[in-house]
Structure 1
Amino acid sequence: MESLPFPPLPPPASHPSFPTLSMNLISANLRTKVHFSYSIFRRFSVSSLELTSTHELVRSRSCRKRNLLNGVGVRAKVSDDELKERWLASLSCPFSEIARKPTDGGEEPANNSGSEWVIGIDPDVSGALALLKNDESDCSAQVFDTPHVQVLVGKRTRKRLDAKSIVLLLQSIHAPLGTSAYIEQSIPFPRDGKQGWWSSGFGYGLWIGVLVASGFSVVPVPSITWKNRFELSGSLLSKDDSREAASTLFPSLSSLLKRKKDHDFR
């Protein structure tokens, strides 16, 4: 077979330098990609390292594991406290900023958020409002029945809070702006039924709305808190014990606390 003729190769000296240049470019591109990949890999490595360290901390000795879990519990507790503070802030007197602005007559309305007046409220439809005024000389107390009206619910007549009369009652006591109003927190019980749940939630929400809109700072208080404070919790204690405790603290109101409905000691 006849061989095909091939042109002679040029001498090595006449070779251009582009292969070397290409290698340099490839090498530079490769280094860039490798460096970029290394950066990404390092980020993943750091995350993996942190995750590994966390897992190692959890899997370490029991005391260290308890410390880690306790730390998580502290963070959760702080978060719960912050939520409670936000809730109370939303129920505070809304006129603190407005009170700093002068009125049409040029006078600044008084804001007595630090006053010695205190209001306590049983938000039930048969509840009451108690007012304590602590003056320099003595401490006086007043009690007002919660205003209510008869309404028709289906075919039955039921009692509901009278919102307008409650507003007029709050205006009549002339409490300073920002006075604290402690209201018993409404907690429904299964035995109360749907109507009881609705009625208690309605009264609780209505009182809070009216109080905040009227310039009071509302503080919800669970019933177990004040009952424990005055040693009135327990199955052996009755409503009469609550009325007796209230009459002992406020003898001037003893004549107003003879009814069974007056047992809720606020």
Structure 2
Amino acid sequence: MLELKHINVSFRTERQDRIFGHTRQQVLFDVSMTVRDGTCLGILGESGSGKSTMGRVLCGLLKPDSGEAVLDGVPIYGSRAGRRNLQNKLSVVFQDYTTSANPRFRVRDIIGEGLTVQERREGSRLDRNWEVADLLETVGLPAAFSDRFPHELSGGQLQRVCIARAVACNPKIILFDEAISSLDAHTQVQIMDLLRELKERLGLTYIFITHDLTAITYLCDDVLFLYQGRVTEYMPVSRISETKDDYARRLLQAIIVFEDEEADG
């Protein structure tokens, strides 16, 4: 469904000596991957690994220096039609739900942003009140929340609203960029349970960007390890214990040690 083929990305940086002007710092090196229809691909990496840059390429926000991003056989960056194809099929849920939701909007207006995308694409008007109530119920919130402002919701509730907005676009793919990392552990599990339910009920495909291996093993079918801009391992989550990658094994070991300490406690 969605592929990256030999993606390279660099950013312009100013040279410290300023004599020779600027140079370029490469952030992604020959990155390739495929998101299979109906699955969840986890992209795992520490801060500075390039995973957010990879997410921007996947979202159509950053054209790579070289390589190709393809959705359903159509190059994303090759034409306006390619960008439109992506916009019609992909939604995003960001980490910072407080800034991704307009504080002056009520919940019905926040979700309405996604409904507007669907209306524009399909050329028809929707029953906004019914749609908002249905979407709130879909993400586990009462319809009465439609009149609330973001500051009247908890972090978990507001992220559910952002998920409802993403679903309102009627996408095929949803990209989650560190979408649960700002939540407490209990709320993280609740949101991941919701995402699993939505994926099955709506037939969605997910890309889940995170630095948390536990979330990957809970939610994802496949995992891609990204380290210093390079793919160091790419495999089914069911075989993750077989990884030969040093970085992946360090993360696995950290989880094992943590679970052992919990058992001892």
Do these two structures clear the TM 0.5 threshold for a shared fold by scoring above it?
no
TM-score for both structures, normalised by structure 1: 0.24
The structure in which a higher percent of residues are strand is 2
Q: Which has more radius of gyration?
A: 1
TM-score for both structures, normalised by structure 2: 0.24
Relative contact order higher in (CA < 8 Å, ≥ 6 apart): 2
The structure in which a higher percent of residues are helix is 1
